Amino acid sequence: MFTDTLSATLQGINALMVHVETDISNGMPMFNIVGSPGSEIREAKDRVRSALKNNGIKIPTARITVNLSPGDLRKDSTSFDLPITIGMLTAMEYIPGKNTEGILFLGEIGLNGEIRAVRGVLPVIMAAAKAGIKECIVPLDNAPEGAVVPDMTVRGAQDLKSVIEYLLTFDDSILPRVNADPDMLFEENSSFIPDFGDVRGQERAKRAAVISAAGFHSLLMTGPPGTGKSMIARRIPGLLPPLTLSESLELTSIYSVAGKMPKGRSLICNRTFQAPHHTITGRALVGGGPVPMPGIISLAHRSVLFLDELPEFGRDAIESLRQPLEEKSIHINRIKYSVEYPADFILICAMNPCPCGYYPDRNRCRCSENEISRYLGKISGPILDRIDLCTELRAVELGEIKGDKKGTGSEQMREMVARARSMQKERFKGTKYRFNADLKADDLGEICRLGKKEDELMENLYRKLELSARSYHRILRVARTIADIEESADISCAHLLEAASYRPDLEYFR
């Protein structure tokens, strides 16, 4: 008997519908799975066979063929265990075939029939909703994640026995519908972020942090150890506007595909802070592997990626940031297919001026000129050219440390960011842009229009600073953000000069 069961496979953070076709016929006893299955799926026949046996169901001595259609699309996931099992049960007429129509199945099965969590449930259920499917049966641990999709009935199953009983009786008490209210989840999952008021001094660096958060600009902080670089970086997520529901769903999809969803959580409701160790490889940073998985930069999507001690990272890892900083996405190609992962993040970097950290204070610095040159030379010109803001932190005075007066706090800084974000939201309404940092060169002339004096100033800066075209455009973007913070419709000379003051000094790195 032939049956057709619905499931899905992942391609990046998108999902494609898959028909699990099962046929049981007379012939030499065997169990074949075809349709470009990966090794995880080829092993499914042993898990399915044992799960059915341990639940008192005897598999007939017959020729069993399972086809995963479309056959030219490679599939790698243990999530096909449950649909293959249901397909066999319907082909065996243990479950009426009409009872599984219009239901999508997803889940790994243990040898005892336990249904275990899998990756990528949220993007699968979102794709199923677009395809018109109204009901999904997924592992119980994944059910809260999928329940946030509107107009979809999601049922969480703990074992194979409960799924069979539900399909025979359609008794809601066996597999109750799992509900989740996204608005309530946002309220329940607010997280604590330390206040900028705890950072003593460093007002210029705080100003750079505000500009960075307001326009989604990348930021490089240099200075000796103990000046507050890491403290500032860890507080920047608290300045960013809250995630919208669409952003939250997109970020949650990435975490789901990567298998990084916190247990019991339905949504990633807050902007994240990713701070990998400098020993990380380029592949772990951008993603990859035999089955391409999201890397750290994709987990920092719509959020903050912090690289502390930037020159200590491998050259390959640093250079791998070029494409995502420019294109806001990562493309991973394989022979038979390619995937694309979002990577629109704020890059925040921190570094010492030399290996020991105290240059140019020759009373404390013990590094030779060659050591300093080699250390700074790890940061290439093309990477620096993609960093919008660069600021230097000095050692904090004792009076600032001992004093009771705190500096600018997060609340005041958030107000500045909110003003700028409000102007950008109105300006970019109906366009592909969200923040000033997203602006492409073709649209800068219209959105960052300059007056006569401002245009002359930029011409002088271009010649005297020997700017590249990318650096010239970067100053315009940053100046537009500074003007937005001050709620100014026009970019003034003061805005341009401040933006130019944050330009990385390329001579310093040579």
Hey, where are the domains in the chain?
A: 2-180, 196-509
| Residue with token string 């640093």 | 318
Distance CA 88, CA 32 (A): 12
Q: What is the pLDDT along the chain (510 residues), one digit of tens a residue?
A: 889 999 999 988 999 999 999 999 988 889 999 999 988 999 999 999 999 999 999 988 899 999 999 988 888 889 999 999 999 999 999 999 999 999 999 999 999 999 999 999 999 999 999 999 999 999 999 999 899 898 899 999 999 999 999 999 999 999 999 987 665 555 555 566 788 988 888 889 999 999 999 999 999 999 999 889 999 999 999 999 888 888 899 999 999 999 998 877 788 888 999 999 999 998 899 988 877 889 999 999 999 999 999 999 998 899 999 989 988 999 888 776 788 999 999 999 999 988 988 887 878 888 888 888 888 888 888 888 889 999 999 887 766 666 666 778 889 999 999 999 999 999 999 888 989 999 998 899 889 999 999 999 999 999 998 888 888 999 999 999 999 999 999 999 999 999 999 987 655 555
Under 8 Å between Cβ of 187 and 177: no
Please name which of 387, 316, 401 lies closest in space to residue 349, comparing C-alpha atoms. 387
Under 8 Å between Cβ of 175 and 159: no
Q: Which element (helix H / strand E) includes 298?
A: helix 296-299
DSSP code of residue 241: P
Fold annotation for 196-509: Rossmann fold (3.40.50)
- Would you state the torsion angle of the CA atoms of residues 321, 324, 330, 335, taken in this order, to the nearest 10 degrees? -60
CATH of the domain spanning 2-180: 3.30.230.10
pTM: 0.88
